A and B are shown apart, each in its own frame.
Chain A
Amino acid sequence: MKNNFKYTAFIVLLLLVTYFVFVFLISSKTINNYYQGILMLIMINVMLAVSLNLVTGFLGQLTLGHAGFMAIGAYVSALFTKVSELPDILSFVIALILAGIAAAAAGIIIGIPALRLKGDYIAILTLSAGEIIRGLIIYFDEYTGGSRGMKMIPAYSNFSNVFWIMIITIFVIYSIIHSRHGRAVIAIREDEIAAESVGINIVNYKLFAFCISAFFAGVAGALFAHYNTLLDPNNFDYNYSIEMLIMVVFGGMGSLTGSIVAALGLTALPQILSDFSNYRMLLYSILLIIIMLFKPSGLFGTHEFSIMAIGGLFKGKKSKTKKRGDL
């Protein structure tokens, strides 16, 4: 615990350095618009993977509707900023919060029936819920533009705000996992009957996890909308949900750092390989098969990657990863 302050200070410093390096690279045009676009997509995918991990990795429920929550966030925020006459920043902040709340509400609505189900059935339910959301967006084309898409969304997202919102998302979910509420969520994953026997209200905590997870998916959707300035309902089909799930599984269910690394790698990889576009899906799938064969629990399993442990490596200590719960 003593090193805690030092550790936090180090992380904050590292984040600031990363941030300013990128800001410098972007302003000096070393990172051009194309790469900046990939960067934004990476950060949004990190948010999505981390928030999905709360439900899939920590609560242990397989869900396939995350893109649906993202879509709700995207459309709600875009509808708001398009009509809002408030100053840009204020309007964007309100839009982000609205997006989160709308998605969280949807998370609860879908969570309630999902509570009665287990395993594969939850996957089917959430998959169809995601598709229903997309269907509704297409149906109400008066407001959403339907299949033609929604255009002229103000471009409020930039590297700075997306970066810090991503950091906040990671921090909030990390904190939840390391609080008593997170322990309750993890206990449900480990053994529902035992969790109830130690006084944990399973229904509440499942909804809690669904709600928080959907909230951040909604916020990520809002950032996406205001970066892309154009929304097409087909952006949010189940393929995207599956892609997010792959990131979570790839990084390790129950490892936030795993999700971050996987989201980064799996978003960047197809872009880097765009020269070999014929083979990139092949490579992508081979990579997945290799991971599932040799490390079925994902890159990090349930462990967290820790910078302290790398420091320890130089001092000759063995452990490379940090167990959840160590301070």
Chain B
Amino acid sequence: MPLLKTENLGITFGGLKALSDVHVEINEHELVGLIGPNGAGKTTFFNLITGVYTPTEGKIIFDGKLMNGKKNYQFNNIGIARTFQNIRLFKGLTVIENVKTAFHSSMKYSPFSGILKLPSYWKEEKLIHEKAIELLRVFSLENLINENASNLPYGQQRKLEIARALATNPKLLLLDEPAAGMNPSETSELMETIDIIRKRFNITILLIEHDMNLVMGICEKIFVLDYGMIIAKGVPEKIKSNPKVIAAYLGE
């Protein structure tokens, strides 16, 4: 059974068909790339499968559950975490607070024990503190935990955003242009990081990317979107030589 399956998925904004007839299947532990020219509907697709938009047609099935009509935060609670194209950190908070905030749903204590600082509060807060540091260590951010998120350099902000997404303990991680604005050495470092987190956290990853080296280098499967439709899917080698893809990217 695929982890994420969309059937006939589509959305229209007013008269504009942003996405139509999208069939996608992503299996567990896969690393999948989603590519396409600007305005093809990649981020719209992400917004649909994270509940930001409600699809006007079709179905989203995640882990065997029909997700249509669920709210944004429910998508996350069920196991889909994401990063954003323009980084969206909690800028005024420190690095560790960013991550701790994301542990919210995995913590159980009630407002009451939070106010009275009952043992369950101390126990869970301590556990989360350790877990957050452990997670930040994976991204070599453990020395910056008390730094304001907005003070981090760009590359580390990206990493922190991924760390924050992972803190919600997702089954599927969506990365929206993780390499945007990075130089080649940062990009290759990012490729390693993605590989590490996938193995270490044992999760499925779907990423949108324009950097072809990154996509072709690490993805096992690629979907190509153009004008809101999937025009090709398959392994990287096949995608590279697919005439439709070449036409979409280079023009005929």
Contact = CB atoms under 8 A, between A and B. Distances in A.
A pairs with B: yes
B157 interface: no
B146 interface: yes
Contacts of B102: 198-199
A191 B128 CA distance: 22
Contact of B101 (A176, A187, A254, A323): A187
A216 to B, nearest CB: 12
Nearest to A301: B92
B115 A198 contact: no
B209 interface: no
Contacts of A151: none
A175 B101 contact: no
Interface stretch (A22-30, A65-73, A115-123, A178-186): A178-186
B101 A193 contact: no
Interface in B79-108: 81-82, 84, 88-94, 96-97, 100-105, 107
A304 B249 CA distance: 53
Given A180-B104, A180-B107, A326-B146, A197 B115 contact: no
Contacts of A189: 92
Interface string A129-173: 000000000000000000000000000000000000000000010
A190 B165 contact: no
A186 B76 contact: no
A193 B105 CA distance: 16
A175 B113 CA distance: 10
Contacts of B164: 198
Interface in B95-148: 96-97, 100-105, 107, 109, 111, 114-117, 121, 124-125, 128, 146
Nearest to B76: A199
A191 B52 CA distance: 14
A183 B121 contact: no
B167 interface: yes
B146 A179 contact: no
Nearest to B110: A181
Contacts of B168: 198-199
A306 interface: no
B101 A183 contact: yes
A316 interface: no
B94 A325 contact: yes
A281 interface: no
Nearest to A190: B90
A184 B82 contact: no
B30 to A, nearest CB: 22
B73 A199 contact: yes
Given A176-B115, A191-B88, A186 B93 contact: yes
B68 interface: no
Contacts of B167: 198
Nearest to A198: B102
Which of B72, B109, B125, B128 has the most A CB atoms < 10 Å from its CB? B72
B82 A197 contact: yes
Interface of B: 50, 52, 71-73, 76-77, 81-82, 84, 88-94, 96-97, 100-105, 107, 109, 111, 114-117, 121, 124-125, 128, 146, 164-165, 167-168
27 contacts: A175-B116, A176-B114, A179-B121, A179-B125, A182-B114, A183-B97, A186-B93, A186-B101, A189-B92, A190-B89, A190-B91, A191-B89, A193-B88, A194-B90, A196-B76, A197-B76, A197-B81, A197-B84, A197-B165, A198-B81, A198-B102, A198-B104, A198-B164, A199-B105, A200-B104, A200-B105, A254-B92
Given A176-B111, A198-B164, A199-B104, 4 more contacts: A175-B116, A179-B115, A196-B72, A208-B111
